[in-house]
């Protein structure tokens, strides 16, 4: 056990986060996302929502401040500008962790699937809100 580390952050998850370099991306995806389609490690956080997973992850994960949009979100089909409650929760967690407003870019669903193939690993939550899928780019400490 470690002090001051959220219990959602397992040793395996911390190892994967630590092995990312500046500019590397991981996916934070909902329970409906086809995570096992990709030849990437999948870390099971199905006991967590987007809100709880994001708070834990962003407590240790630096977002890339050298790009315009360090987070990309899957857009809702036919409603690309709608921000659901999961996306709003991620926004709040990112802003709190970074101490500033973090820009999140919407990505059309099928384009998001293509971009997710470049993620180093995926963290799959039990989030029940559809379209709660994100790609987070690592910054520097």
- Average pLDDT rounded to a whole number, residues 37-52: 97
Contact 73, 113 (CB under 8 A): no
| pTM of the shown model | 0.96
Q: Over 90: is that where the pLDDT of 137 sits? A: yes
Cα–Cα distance measured from residue 6 to residue 61, given in angstroms and rounded to the nearest whole number: 12
Q: Over 80: is that where the pLDDT of 1 sits? A: no
Structure confidence at residue 89 (pLDDT): 98
Place of tokens 């407003």: 101
Cα–Cα distance measured from residue 102 to residue 88, given in angstroms and rounded to the nearest whole number: 12
**Residues recognised as catalytic:** 22
Structure confidence at residue 84 (pLDDT): 98
- Average pLDDT rounded to a whole number, residues 47-67: 98
Q: From 3.40.50.970, 3.40.1650.10, 3.40.190.80, 3.30.70.2740, which CATH number describes the 24-137 domain?
A: 3.40.1650.10
CB 89: neighbour CB atoms within 10 A? 20
| Domain range annotation of the chain | 24-137
- Average pLDDT rounded to a whole number, residues 45-57: 98
Cα–Cα distance measured from residue 86 to residue 92, given in angstroms and rounded to the nearest whole number: 10
- Average pLDDT rounded to a whole number, residues 114-120: 98
Cα–Cα distance measured from residue 110 to residue 41, given in angstroms and rounded to the nearest whole number: 21
**pLDDT band for position 24 (50/70/90)?**
very high
Q: Over 80: is that where the pLDDT of 108 sits? A: yes
Q: Over 90: is that where the pLDDT of 2 sits? A: no
Cα–Cα distance measured from residue 4 to residue 43, given in angstroms and rounded to the nearest whole number: 21
């Amino acid at each position: 056990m470690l002090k001051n580390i959220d219990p959602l952050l397992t040793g395996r998850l911390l190892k994967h986060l630590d092995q990312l370099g500046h500019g590397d991306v991981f996916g934070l995806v909902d329970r409906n996302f086809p995570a096992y389609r990709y030849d990437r490690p999948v870390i099971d956080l199905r006991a967590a929502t987007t809100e709880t997973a994001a708070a834990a992850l962003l407590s240790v994960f630096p977002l890339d401040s050298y790009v315009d949009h360090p987070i990309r979100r899957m857009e809702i089909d036919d409603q690309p500008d709608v921000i659901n409650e999961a996306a709003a929760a991620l926004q709040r967690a990112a802003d709190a962790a970074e101490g500033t407003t973090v820009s999140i870019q919407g990505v059309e669903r099928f384009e998001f699937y293509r971009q997710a193939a470049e993620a180093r690993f995926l963290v799959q939550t039990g989030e029940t809100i559809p379209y709660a899928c994100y790609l987070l780019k690592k910054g520097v400490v």
